Amino acid sequence: MSAFYKKWGIEPNADSIHLDLTHELRFIRSIQGFVFSSLIGNNYPIPKDSVGSVEYYYKKGQGACYDRAILMEKVLAEEGFKTRHIYAYFRRDSSTTRTLDLFKKRLFSHALLEVKTKNGWLVVDTGKQWMGLDETGSIMSMEEARAQLKKTNPSSSKEFGLLSQLTPLPGNLKFVYGLYSRNGHFLKPSRLEMLFSALGLAIHPPDYNLSTLLDNII
């Protein structure tokens, strides 16, 4: 990560970063901007075995929305923030997105993240440089942002970055904390995947973070 810090010209100091909410938001916004300037890709996928590789991100400067989310998460975690990866999925028609849509082959999705600030969870977009701040400057979680989307015409709204452009109905999405990929291959093999491999089974479970995944039910 030090190579990125040098490239960005920053020397993070955890004490000053977490001094108050204003300092936290300033740092989060700056990292979001640095990551956008460093990972260009127009959401085209990079090689699957390179997803999550800081070295690849630095050398190639490429990445899709989930790569930007992962890199932001790595930087923010290193500076003492708790983060949650978000897998948002939705339909493009007027029908309601259902939980079981997660298992359909053709699924429209987008990766975001939440960052724990002194005032709670803040949703951060990876399609455009948007953060969950309302008109009063209060922070919004993913759930709160979705509630706002339900009140907004996505054809005219620019408040929610990429999702406002892709989702035909406000709030027409569901999301899962801690899910990186439904089809595996992204992150290092889990113990379950290694067990399948040892048994000669070509089964690739979804990529997930178990502790964050539990936030969906707690």
CATH number for the domain that contains residue 16: 3.10.620
Does the pLDDT value for residue 141 go beyond 50?
yes
pLDDT at residue number 142: 92
Number of H helices, E strands in the chain: 9, 6
Cβ burial 7-40 (10 Å sphere, 16+ → b, else e) = ebeeebeeeebbeeeeebbebbeebbebbeebbe
Is pLDDT above 90 for 114? yes
CB 57 within 8 A of CB 38: yes
Mean pLDDT of 139-152: 85
> What residue has token string 């916004």?
29
Answer whether residue 170 shows pLDDT above 50.
Answer: no
pLDDT at 76: 97
SS3 for 154? coil
Length of the chain: 218
Domain span at residue 126?
2-216
Quickly state the pLDDT bin for 213 (edges 50, 70, 90). Answer: low
Query: Is pLDDT above 60 for 120?
Result: yes
Higher pLDDT, 204 or 17: 17
pLDDT band at 57 (very low <50, low <70, confident <90, very high): very high
Number of structural domains, the chain? 1
Q: How confident is the model at residue 169 (pLDDT cuts 50, 70, 90)?
A: very low
Name 195's Cβ contacts closer than 8 Å, sequence gap at least 6.
none
Give φ, ψ of 131 to 5 degrees: -130, 155
CA distance linking residue 195 with residue 185, whole number of Å: 15
Q: Is the pLDDT of residue 197 over 60?
A: no
Q: Cα-atom radius of gyration of the chain, to the nearest Å?
A: 18
- Please report, for residues 34, 90, 112, the alpha-carbon distance to residue 65 in angstroms, rounded to integers and kept in the order given: 14, 16, 7
